Structure 1
Amino acid sequence: MIILGGAVHAGSLRNACEDRLGRLNLAHRFSEDDLIKAVASLVGRTIVCEPIDMRGAFSCGLRKRYADREVIYYEQNASALHRRQIIAHELSHILWEHKGEIDLADLMSDEELAGLMDWSVLGVSARTSYETDAEIEAEMMATLILQRMYRGTVMPAARPSVADERWDAIFS
């Protein structure tokens, strides 16, 4: 985290995010798949994105870190734009090399934990607030990723009829 005098310096954080994004060598126009492949190539681990039902959960996105792969879970009912934001946010944690701050024991009962125990998981992260350095860094980078994704959009639909088209029209 870039901190000057006890406060986050947004300009320095943005520059640090831009530097990390520059390492991906993404084309001017790129897709979600291009982004995932670029991050996987940079970090040397497979990245899998899985939709799951997270309604009523503490978060709309979750990342599990393994030695050989990263698994990103996102709310299956999220709009295309929200899905991109969730995935970009979790990919940003990977780019910042955040290890994961969630203690599953705080979220589940002992019985639930016993049924889920997977000793190959090295870390878990989920956005539950914007108060930690890791969440501020990941959100800034996710915002910059979406800006770059939409930078190449020529024109939105002339008459957006569904929610995804309306969101695309707003951000293009």
Structure 2
Amino acid sequence: MNKISILSSLLLVIVVSSLACGGDNTTVPTKATEPASTSAPAPAATSAPTAAPTAAPTAAPTAAPVADSAGSTDSSSSGTDAASGQELSVSKGCVACHSIDGTAIIGPSWKGLYGSQEALEDGSTVTVDDAYIKESILNPTIKITKGYQPLMPVLPVSDEEIAAITAYIKSLK
């Protein structure tokens, strides 16, 4: 390999590691603020009581429902797991390398990945299922998808987090 290729590869590894491992994955709650009322001050008391206008409370934002393979949304536990998996894919840095729209970036896209047959660098193929995803998260260099480099870092992830990320990947048809 020439010097430019080696330096480019090294730079890529540093950038990916920084993106995937940057931060302590803590979230800071933010206080929702209500919009300031723009109504005029209430008039002085009159003989007939009048109701002062009040601002309607706004609903707190919620995660968008995740569509299943048929395109419908699911509010059951699998839908909740998929929504949690979506949040985890951001907080753990997965989306820095794995797209959800089919675009090839540093790692394979998650769109349509679950249930597919993936060619590996060693010439074998594997069906992408729960076990393969778990193995790939816990030991990312064991089975490398053909055309990709073994750059995925090992991150601390619980079984519940793996299940949620897997549910999210399943939802990306």
Smaller-chain TM-score range? under 0.3
Higher helix share: 1
> What TM-score results when the alignment is normalised by the length of structure 1?
0.27
> What TM-score results when the alignment is normalised by the length of structure 2?
0.27
Select the structure of larger CA radius of gyration.
Answer: 2
Higher strand share: 1
